[in-house]
């Protein structure tokens, strides 16, 4: 085991001990904080329910991510393709990104129903803007010399885009995906909390209504787990495609 | 016996339509370069050197007049006839050195084996065969520019156009790179057309130096350097060299925008 991993583990164990201690000594009331053992008890009691909810939420997140990636990158590519396009869409995307989306959620429920479709749709909209904006900026910021070079060696427009511009913009696109992933996860879980029939967010809200704080914390931990998975997947993607960028930066 | 002409321009002009009055960037540019020659173009900054190079490369259209490569008019980029080397090496950072060199050949649909052989041979020529599997960020600025030269050569063009290829390098590296370029050029017998703002570089490398005026750019003198080859650094200090440099300096001098730096040393 490497040194940083070991230190991380020690930190986690220390936090758990202090956390448990705070509750055992009743320094903080049972409605504010659930101790690790209380969370474990909630898991032992209702794990089938949480497992089912976790699957729903994960499905919603993955579906929303895939759609948000495709739409966001696609829109960003179109918006960044010409100076005119970005002149038109840049301010539009930026101002739409600034709209508090949550105010729209009641409408999403009207449009897509109370099931998973509205959660996916809301997740997509949450993640779309940062991905589209970063993709557009990444493409706009590609050094003009590369475009001239690309024409000089006889690349078609499609070849220029696919073989030169897109890879050069990839670090910026992935930075957008990072923000997008976080917002999609938040979007999906918040949507579940506001009105739904299943999922982690739904359980968090219903257990909160029952004052079962251990189960609420279990739900929070599971949403954390979703975020963790998504970030790990993204890091793998980043290492695979943009390792050259990091090496360049290091010089 | 005269050598065949590789590139030729006939009464080339370029006019930009600005808001009120049209701006003439280039006026009546006519010159020819024979096969295997090394031609440089010098002139004050803003005189339209880069515009001319882009027209020669088929990247932008002239307003009137023709560019001919092997007698064929240039209307669009012709990567099998013309290679362009820029001030920035414009290497693709995610590709290895050899992948960078083969890339233009891939675009031209050269068969895989052949493009690999050509790339390998050119990397040997520029002295970077050992670096074929490295990535651009692992190389120095001068090495990256050599990769870019190998990449241009691998296209097996009739002419190589170079736009301030060593402009981003320090003076010492710059002259060394020039010397390396001369050795590569001797082995390939390609025609080179080089744009530079360094009079020393132009005279040290070239057979012929074209001197361009301020805007509207026109060619005001064609200087045959007449220096023996192989060139040595000592020649830079010779009386002949100094005379030639002074002559160009006066031709484009008298203009306050010509800085001391642009005279080279």
Q: What is the CATH classification number for the domain harbouring A84? A: 1.10.3720.10
Q: Which two tokens stand for residue B90?
A: 């414009």
How much is the pLDDT for B233? Answer: 85
Our CA-based measurement puts residue B108 at a distance from the nearest CA of chain A, in whole angstroms, of: 7
How much is the pLDDT for A152? Answer: 94
| Chain A contact present for B103, CB below 8 A | yes
| Chain A contact present for B193, CB below 8 A | no
Q: Which two tokens stand for residue B241?
A: 């060299």
Rounded mean pLDDT, B71-90: 92
How much is the pLDDT for B174? Answer: 87
CA A160 to chain centroid, in Å, comes to: 30
The question of ipTM being above 0.85 is answered as yes
Please name the residue of chain B whose CA is at the shortest distance from the CA of residue A248: B137
Domain boundary assignment for chain B: 5-81+160-263, 91-156
Q: Which two tokens stand for residue B16?
A: 């930009």
Is B83's pLDDT higher than 60?
yes
Question: For chain A (length 251 residues), average pLDDT per consecutive 10?
Answer: 88 93 87 88 91 92 94 92 82 85 88 92 94 93 92 93 92 91 93 89 93 92 89 83 62 45
Burial B231-260 (b: 16+ CB within 10 A, else e): beeebbeeeebeebbeebbebbeeeeebee
Q: Do B57 and A152 touch (CB under 8 A)?
A: yes
Assigned domain for A11 exists: no
Assigned domain for A46 exists: yes
| Structural domain boundaries enclosing A66 | 34-250
Residues in chain B with CB shorter than 8 Å from the CB of A152 are 57, 59, 77, 79, 82-84
Assigned domain for A42 exists: yes
How much is the pLDDT for B256? Answer: 46
| Chain B contact present for A111, CB below 8 A | no
How much is the pLDDT for A230? Answer: 84
Q: What is the DSSP letter of A26?
A: T
Q: Which two tokens stand for residue A138?
A: 């990444």
Is B59's pLDDT higher than 60?
yes
Our CA-based measurement puts residue A161 at a distance from the nearest CA of chain B, in whole angstroms, of: 13
Is B260's pLDDT higher than 60?
no
Given B59, B104, B135, which is nearest A244 (Cβ)? B135
Q: What is the pTM of this model?
A: 0.81
Crossing angle for the helix pair A3-24 and A36-81, to the nearest 10 degrees: 130
How much is the pLDDT for B93? Answer: 92
Q: Give CA–CA dist A225/B2, Å, rounded.
A: 78
Please name the residue of chain A whose CA is at the shortest distance from the CA of residue B96: A244
Q: Do A154 and B104 touch (CB under 8 A)?
A: yes
Given B77, B107, B138, which is nearest A159 (Cβ)? B107
How much is the pLDDT for B16? Answer: 86
- The CATH number fitting domain B5-81+160-263, selected from 2.40.340.10, 3.40.630.10, 3.40.718.10, 3.40.50.300: 3.40.50.300
| Chain A contact present for B167, CB below 8 A | no
Q: Do B79 and A251 touch (CB under 8 A)?
A: no
Q: Do A153 and B79 touch (CB under 8 A)?
A: yes
Residue with tokens 């996916």: A120
Our CA-based measurement puts residue A149 at a distance from the nearest CA of chain B, in whole angstroms, of: 7
How big is the CA angle at B197 (ends B195 and B200), to the nearest 5 degrees?
100
Burial of A143 (0-12, 13-18, 19+ CB in 10 A): exposed
Assigned domain for A116 exists: yes
Q: Give CA–CA dist A156/A173, Å, rounded.
A: 23
Number of domains chain A contains: 1
Q: Which two tokens stand for residue B139?
A: 């190389």
| Chain A contact present for B137, CB below 8 A | yes
**Percent of chain B with pLDDT strictly greater than 70:** 95
> B197-218, pLDDT tens digit by residue?
888 899 999 999 999 988 888 8
Our CA-based measurement puts residue A240 at a distance from the nearest CA of chain B, in whole angstroms, of: 11
Listed in sequence order, the residues at least 6 apart from A115 whose beta carbon sits closer than 8 Å to its beta carbon are A196, A197
């Amino acid at each position: 085991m490497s040194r940083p991993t070991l230190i991380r583990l020690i930190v986690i164990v220390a936090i758990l001990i202090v956390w448990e201690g705070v509750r055992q000594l009743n320094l903080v009331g049972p409605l504010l904080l659930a101790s690790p053992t209380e969370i474990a008890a909630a898991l032992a009691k209702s794990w089938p329910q949480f497992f089912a909810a976790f699957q729903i939420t994960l499905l919603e997140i993955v579906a929303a991510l895939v759609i948000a990636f495709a739409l966001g990158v696609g829109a960003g590519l179109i918006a960044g393709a010409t100076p005119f396009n970005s002149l038109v869409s840049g301010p539009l995307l930026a101002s739409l990104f600034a709209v508090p989306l949550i105010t729209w959620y009641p409408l999403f429920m009207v449009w897509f129903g109370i099931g998973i479709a509205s959660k996916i749709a809301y997740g997509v909209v949450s993640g779309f803007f940062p991905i589209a904006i970063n993709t557009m900026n990444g493409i706009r910021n590609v050094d003009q010399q590369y475009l001239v070079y690309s024409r000089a060696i006889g690349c078609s427009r499609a070849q220029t885009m696919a073989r030169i511009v897109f890879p050069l913009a990839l670090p910026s696109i992935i930075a957008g995906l990072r923000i997008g992933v976080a917002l999609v996860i938040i979007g999906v879980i918040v949507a579940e909390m506001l009105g739904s029939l299943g999922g982690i967010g739904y359980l968090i809200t219903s257990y909160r209504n029952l004052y079962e704080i251990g189960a609420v914390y279990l739900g929070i931990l599971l949403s954390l787990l979703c975020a963790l998975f998504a970030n790990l997947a993204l890091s793998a993607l980043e290492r695979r495609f943009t390792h050259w960028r990091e090496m360049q930066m290091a010089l | 016996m005269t050598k065949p002409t590789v590139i030729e321009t006939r009464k080339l002009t370029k006019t930009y339509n600005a808001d009120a009055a049209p701006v003439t960037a280039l006026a009546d540019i006519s010159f020819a370069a024979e096969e295997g020659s090394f031609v440089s173009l010098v002139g004050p900054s803003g005189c339209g050197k880069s515009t001319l190079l882009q027209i020669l490369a088929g990247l932008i259209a002239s307003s009137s007049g023709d560019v001919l490569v092997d007698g064929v008019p240039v209307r669009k980029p012709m990567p099998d006839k013309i290679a362009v080397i820029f001030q920035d090496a414009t290497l693709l950072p995610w590709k290895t050195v050899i992948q960078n060199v083969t890339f233009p050949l891939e675009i031209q649909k050269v068969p895989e084996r052949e493009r690999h052989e050509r790339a390998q041979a050119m990397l040997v020529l520029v002295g970077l065969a050992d670096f074929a599997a490295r990535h651009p960020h692992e190389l120095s600025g001068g090495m990256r520019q050599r990769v870019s030269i190998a990449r241009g050569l691998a296209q097996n063009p009739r002419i190589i156009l170079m736009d301030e290829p060593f402009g981003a390098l320090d003076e010492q590296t710059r002259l060394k790179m020039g010397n390396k370029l001369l050795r590569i050029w001797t082995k390939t017998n390609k025609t080179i057309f080089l744009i530079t703002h360094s009079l020393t570089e132009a005279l040290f490398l070239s057979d012929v130096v074209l001197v361009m005026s301020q805007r509207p750019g026109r060619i005001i003198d064609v200087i045959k350097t007449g220096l023996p080859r192989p060139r040595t650094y000592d020649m830079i200090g010779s009386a002949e060299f100094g005379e030639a440099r002074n002559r160009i300096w006066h031709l484009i001098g008298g203009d306050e925008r010509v800085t001391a730096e642009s005279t080279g040393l």
